[in-house]
Structure 1
Amino acid sequence: MKKGFTLFLVYFSFLSLNAQKKDQAKDTVKTEIVNIVTKYNPKISDAKKINKNPKIELLKNSEKKKLEYTIFSAPVASTFIPKSGVVKGIDVGVKERVYKNYLAAGIGNYTTPYLETYLTHSTNYENEFGFNAKYLASLDNVKNSVLNSNFSNFNIGAFYKQQERYFDWKVTLNSERNLYNWYGLPDITFTEPTISAINEEQVFNYFDLIGEFNFEDSYIQSGKVNFANYTDGHESSETLAKFEAKLNLPLDYLLPNLNDISVATSIEFLKGEFKNDYSNSNPLKYGTSTININPQYKMEYEGFSIKPGLKLIASFDSENSANNFFILPDVFVEGPIIEEYLNVYAGITGDLHTNTYKNFTEENPYVSPTLFITQTLEKSNLFLGFKGLIVDDLSFNVKASFKSEEDKPMFIRNNSKSDGTNTTYNSMDLKGYEYGNSFDVRYDDVKTNTFFTELEYEYSKNLSFGLQGIYNSYTLENEVEAWNLPSVEGSISAKYKTNKWFAGANIFYVSERKDALYTSQYPTAQNGSENVASFTDVNLNGGYHFNDKFSAFLKLNNVLNTEYQRFANFNTQGAQILGGLTYKFDF
């Protein structure tokens, strides 16, 4: 079509040129051609607006002709005769309706109230906002504890999300209030006046403001801004500001077959202060600034996925006037050995981890507000693993790793400043965490050899099982023990679900750990170590769906009713029962 139209234009131009030549031959008047050259200065008024609704007028010859057709129908004898029982239906189950909002409430022994809700609403396809809240508490004390051992956790949050033409953004505000007690007194005979003088309560408050951005068709893939503040009931304060961005840098302008380079970047500012150290002599301040650039390239070779990369890290310690620069590896390789049944993966990586007061209290809420906080350098983490299928329904994952860390943190029990009768030390009243019932953080250079194994068995679409096991071997530079670090951890899980019923089971095992042993009160140094016994924790849960909206649930924790210790001298509650209702709905 385009070729014919082009020939037509050439032919039409040739005829026009000949016609002009013939007309010029007949003209007896001599003509002169005058070329006038002038500078063109366009003005805004010279521009014409584009018609928003242009009309296309077709020539008569180009107009579409009305299509007329007829159908000649004839009966065809069908040879298909359906028979009952030939086609069998596939059991796909009943499709569960998914609701955006829910409200759950319950109560348990140890006077344990529970309330949780999540609400979200979209005004249109471009924006969404939501609210969430959760409250869980135990108002009764642990058996045989002479101090208050109750706790409460309350967190609340809200978000707003907006979708623009080329990007979307989200703002989230989270807040937490957690209450705990230093109730784990050591094996010292405390008098009644001394116990009455102990103020064992500790309260943590947390506020977190997060801004997130996701871009479409841009070199900047995503960005995140995070500002958090953490305080406690003993005038401790910590502020963390972090800026993150993920970039995609194209390389196809160099070679057409090259993939993009992904670059993860972050800038982090941490600043905190404790009112005093454990000796009550000086306040403890800490502050670090960290810049992290992590380029990574992804490629495929002979069926293997290869991700070479590295981490460029700069750290500036404002309190200790120390600056450090690191270049750490970040390489990952994965590929099949036996297609669909056995894959191998390996890699080596490193990182610089920023320790925070909040992270320590999440792992151990019984630390004292007198911590020395610094960063942990993961110099190298070399690992090799295999994953795949033993049979179609049984999958596995095994991995061996060798990690080398500088300044790895470990929890160790503080020595008591009281012999059981005194409530003052150096003419100062003892604080609630100075009776040997709190923990400090001890750092050391540690090499850890780890063997990890995992099995998952899907017996049917309604029933599945899981098994995990971890073995750790520690080599320390200075410390005599790997304080409160277990060498063996394991878990067994099971899940069962039908249209009406659901149930689950989790069994956890943690091996023996070591903690410090003191023969007399502070400032005596530690004298050996004590064993913190291993424990097994059995937890069951289940429930029943009355309909799509209403459900009942029941949780049984520590079914064996063992008063084990997660940390030295801190006994846990016995058998715990929590039951309640869940209501799901849409606005």
Structure 2
Amino acid sequence: MKKGFILFLVYFSFLSLNAQKKEQAIDTVKTEVVNVVTKYNPKISDAKKINKNPKIELLKNNEKKKLEYTIFSAPVASTFIPKSGVVKGIDVGVKERVYKNYLAAGFGNYTTPYLEAYLNHSTSFENEFGFNAKYLASLDNVSNTALNSNFSNFNIGAFYKQQERYFDWKVSLNSERNLYNWYGLPDLNYTAPTISSINEEQVYNYFDLIGEFNFQDSYIHSGKIKIANFTDSYKSSEILAKFEAKLNLPLDFLRSNLNDISIATSIEFLKGEFKNDYSNSNAVKYGTTTISINPQYKIELEGFSIKPGLKLIASFDSENSANNFFILPDIFVEGPIIEGYLNVYGGFTGDLHTNTYKNFTEENPYVSPTLFITQTLEKSNLFLGFKGLIIDDLSFNVKASFKSEEDKPLFLRNNSKSDGTNTTYNSMDLNGYEYGNSFDVYYDDVKTNTFFAELEYEYSKNLSFGLQGIYNNYTLENAIEAWNLPSLEGNISAKYKTNKWFAGANIFFVSERKDALYANQYPTSFSGTETVDSFTDVNLNGGYHFNDKFSAFLKLNNVLNTKYQRFANFDTQGFQVLGGLTYKFDF
């Protein structure tokens, strides 16, 4: 009986296993991972309702990176032995409050008023606007000058900036009015009637409108539009329009570890006119259109940053019917030799520079409104430099460069149309710049070898020193001398600052320069060269903070009262003092 019952159980178990195997063979339910959110009791019949799991594809920028943790565990013997004593505090100084707005006013000898203001306000985190203005003048004349030598500079500007969801933009308006005098008469015996007939005043007026754009997550990185107008008292006019854009083209579709290609592009339109040339015969017109494309790719290799690129430039001269196309190198390499102490950098570049009347007046405000203006081709510029630390607080930077330029502009003094007694030329009254007291622009092909050295020493957080020196050696194609170019320039500076006091010093040195001498009044040839002496100019400045908002400042220029000339026959002011107050505030 027992044996029969046992055999019955074994047989029943065997039939059950076979039945399950058959059911599994026809069942379509597969093993799935189900995240239970609410209570759910699945049935086999419900499995047919689920065809497949949804798949969500994320953008590449939103993909989550897998975090990997590595722990290196090793026993470390403790070498720290606590020592009783006084705990030394760290002097982090007093945190200076930064204000968005300030007003400054001062006055100095030579009847020198000074006014400056900067106002800035943000209505929210998304927009901002501001206003700035500055006025500086010297109403007294330089000693021993027969003509007026006063000057005044006034500029004013405003901007508005808006941040949008995918980009931000900024609009700026700027205007300038600068007054100068052609007071640098050559060494001739000018009679009193001749001097009284000279109108030596020149006024430059400038206006520009600038629009800037910066994009986020776009192939266009940034863009800039500039329209400027420049005029003077002699009906000269110049219009400059420039459009710039920087593009980033991704290469990750070729390989994931490739960087983007950066492309800087620009289109520039320049058009200007002078009423007449220096001989008073014809009007002088100039106009160029320049298109530039500058692709560049960045490579990181063994700690070195390598940026190979090139510049594709097309220039169209509408006045002279001349078209030029250039392919110029643009390569830069930088990397460490001794990590943290010595870096090397170098490059090989070229460019096409657009000269403008506005730029010439900024460098030399005594040019005549009769200039011939053309572009300067920087055919090649090869440079190599080293920078780093000598000790922890002493840094250096040295660089040698070899540059070759076509049509490099040089300032050359105009020949006088008066012998000191006449006030007319070819039965025409002389203009105020035609008495040998203005400068022309002379173009020549120039090769320049330059050595630059710079040292900076931070003695403490309150006191630092700086030293700079530049040596230039010029090789010219046609010119007798490198007109008005110094071969050596140097600068020594020092800065001191505490919570209440601040001070600074600058010592400038410029070596001698060369200018032309003429055999007779215009028109005539060169009779030789004149040496413009080298000079050293010592300037000091300092002040005191009464509190966070009010400060007093004092500036001392040409402390040694040196009688020097920046350009031939243009003497500078002697010892100058300017003092005033500054008020900082927020709205």
Alpha-carbon distance, 1:16 to partner = 5.1
* Cα offset, 1:84, TM superposition: 9.1
Instruction: Give the drift of 1:122.
Output: 1.0
Residue in 1 aligned with 2:216? 216
Aligned residue in 2 for 1:408: 408
Task: State the one-letter code of the partner of 1:396.
Answer: F
Aligned twin of 1:14: 44
In the superposition, relative to structure 1, how do residues 185 and 215 fare at CA in structure 2: closer, same or farther (>3 Å)?
same
SS state at 1:517 partner: strand
CA distance 1:15–1:377, shift in 2 (3 Å): same
Following superposition, the deviation at residue 15 of structure 1 comes to 4.0
AA partner of residue 498 (structure 2) = T
Name the structure 1 match of 2:173.
173
Identity of counterpart residues, as a percentage? 85
Shift of 1:12: 4.1
Secondary structure of the residue that 2:526 maps to in structure 1? coil
Cα deviation 1:343-395 (Å, max 9, x = unaligned) = 10010000000000000000000000000000000000000000000000000
- Corresponding residue for 1:580? 580
TM-superposed deviation, 1:5? 4.7
Mapped to 2, the partners of 1:101 and 1:16 lie a distance apart of 71
1:558 match:
558
How big is the shift at 1:88? 2.1
TM-score with structure 1 setting the length? 0.87
Aligned to 2:452: 452
Aligned equivalents of 1:399 and 1:576: distance in 2? Answer: 35
Q: Secondary structure at the match of 1:96?
A: coil
Within a 5 Å distance, the mapping from 1:108-127 to structure 2 comes to: 108-127=108-127
Q: Deviations over 1:59-106 (max 9, x none)?
A: xxxxxxxxxxxxxxxxxxxxxxx9995432110000010000000000
Equivalent in the alignment of 1:522:
522
Q: In the alignment, what sits opposite 2:7? A: none
Task: Normalising by structure 2, report the TM-score.
Answer: 0.87
How far, CA to CA, are the matches of 1:464 and 1:575 in structure 2? Answer: 26
Partner residue, 1:156: 156
Q: Which amino acid aligns with 2:249?
A: L
Q: Which residue of structure 2 aligns with residue 94 of structure 1?
A: 94
Partners in 2 of 1:537 and 1:84 — Cα distance? Answer: 56
Whole-angstrom distance in 1 between the partners of 2:35 and 2:198: 99
**CA separation of 1:15 and 1:476: change in aligned 2, threshold 3 A:** same
- Look up the match of 1:267: 267
Q: 1:92 is matched by which residue type in structure 2? A: V
1:3 correspondence with 2:42: no
Structure 2 residue matching 1:536: 3-state secondary structure:
strand
Q: Partner residue of 1:472?
A: 472
| 3-state secondary structure, aligned to 1:373 | coil
Deviation (angstroms), 1:422: 0.1
Paired residue total: 523
Show the counterpart of 2:131: 131
| Alignment-derived partner of residue 432 in structure 1 | 432
Q: Which amino acid aligns with 2:44?
A: F
**Structure 2: distance between partners of 1:539 and 1:292:** 42
Deviation at 1:220, TM superposition (A): 0.5
Q: Cα offset for 1:9?
A: 13
- 1:23 corresponds in structure 2 to none
Match in the other structure for 1:483: 483
CA distance in 1, matches of 2:46, 2:478: 100
Read off the aligned partner of 2:158 and give its amino acid letter.
A
The equivalences for 1:294-309 within 5 A come to 294-309=294-309
Is 1:326 aligned with 2:326? yes
Asked if residue 443 in structure 1 is aligned to residue 473 in structure 2, the reply is no
- Residue 525 of structure 1 deviates from its aligned partner by 1.5
Q: CA RMSD for the aligned pairs?
A: 1.8
SS at match of 2:537: strand
Does residue 284 of structure 1 match 2:314?
no
Match of 2:142 in 1: 142
* 1:532-551 alignment, distance < 5 Å: 532-551=532-551
Aligned-partner residue type, residue 164 of structure 2: E
Q: 2 CA distance for matches of 1:177 and 1:275?
A: 20
Question: What runs of 5+ residues in structure 1 fail to find an aligned partner?
Answer: 19-81
SS at match of 1:333: strand
Q: CA deviation at 1:519?
A: 2.0
Instruction: Give structure 2 stretches of 5+ with no counterpart.
Output: 1-30, 49-81
**Counterpart amino acid of 2:518?**
Y
CA distance in 1, matches of 2:448, 2:169: 41
| Partner Cα distance (2:113, 2:246) in 1 | 42
Aligned twin of 2:512: 512
Corresponding residue for residue 21 of structure 1: none
Q: Name the SS of the counterpart of 1:528 in structure 2.
A: strand
Which residues of 2 match residues 325-344 of structure 1 at below 5 A?
325-344=325-344
Distance 1:236-1:11 versus aligned 2 partners, 3 A rule: same
Compute the displacement of 1:209 (Å): 0.3
